[in-house]
Copies of this chain bind each other. A is one copy, B any other.
Amino acid sequence: MEHFDDLVAAYRILAEHGVIDAYGHVSIRSPDNPQRYYIARSLAPEVVQVEDIMEYDLDSKPLDERGRESVRERFIHGEIYKARPDVKAIVHSHSPSVIPFGVSKTRLQPIYHMSSFMGVDVPVFEIRDVAGSASDLLVRNARLGAALANVLGDKTVVLMRGHGSVTVGTSIPQVVFRAYYAEMNARLQSEAIKLGAVTYLTADEAAASAKTNDALVMRPWELWKRKVTKPE
């Protein structure tokens, strides 16, 4: 199934670019049934294969467990798919340049057109507000997933304090593009801030640019997919 091939490719692409480490994950909503989603079993992203993909309902209950271990934080995915019918693909990562923005008061903002999809407000999910100050920081149940989805609102990215971030999109190529350029933006914004006052994209620029970029997400996708699927 092409969707599964793309999902496997997404895991590998994001691992190769350092967006996800051994603990990130990618999911897609089922193209056949919007009440279902697919995500890999608990496994290092670089080695995910089609047979590692599991199916879940939107309560994040596995439908074809067959002895495979589910990722603990699948509720991130299920609850966002519930709250956001427009979302078809989700990435959860600990992408390194984004982490510092989740623990400081400096907001992540688009400094160039490639990250215009972020708009002018990237919210931060403070798990202490829901789980108190002694949690293990994982979104390990539906209640926490719903709280995260609530902070995400209608945005494309939400940061998770002391943990990572979540990026959503309408397709795998788009969400991979977004996860990659969220990381790039964080790196560049951090450097730019050290140089002095920064001119960010206006809301209108971000909106116009995001629309343009949506038509161009296949260019890196095809390159990236080719690189992770070529015979060794």
Contacts and interface: CB of A to CB of B under 8 A. Distances in A.
B219 A42 contact: yes
Nearest to A204: B134
Given A191-B190, A194-B190, A208-B136, A23 B219 contact: yes
A50 to B, nearest CB: 18
B162 A112 contact: yes
A130 to B, nearest CB: 13
Contacts of A212: 136, 138
Contact of A211 (B136, B200, B201): B136
A189 B104 CA distance: 10
A193 B192 contact: no
B111 A100 contact: yes
B42 A113 contact: no
Interface in A114-170: 114, 116, 133-138, 161-164
Interface stretch (A30-38, A78-86, A91-99): A91-99
A46 B224 CA distance: 10
A103 interface: yes
Interface in A172-226: 184, 187-202, 204-205, 207-209, 211-212, 216, 219-220, 222-223, 226
Given A22-B223, A42-B219, A99-B188, A113 B136 contact: yes
Given A195-B193, A209-B137, A223-B22, A162 B104 contact: no
A228 interface: no
Contacts of A100: 111, 188-189, 191-192, 194-195, 198
Contacts of A137: 112-113, 116, 201, 205, 208-209
Contacts of A220: 21-23, 44
Across the A-B interface, the 7 shortest Cβ-Cβ residue pairs:
A134-B204, A100-B192, A22-B220, A44-B223, A136-B208, A104-B195, A106-B195
Interface of A: 21-23, 42-44, 46-47, 94, 96-97, 99-106, 110-114, 116, 133-138, 161-164, 184, 187-202, 204-205, 207-209, 211-212, 216, 219-220, 222-223, 226
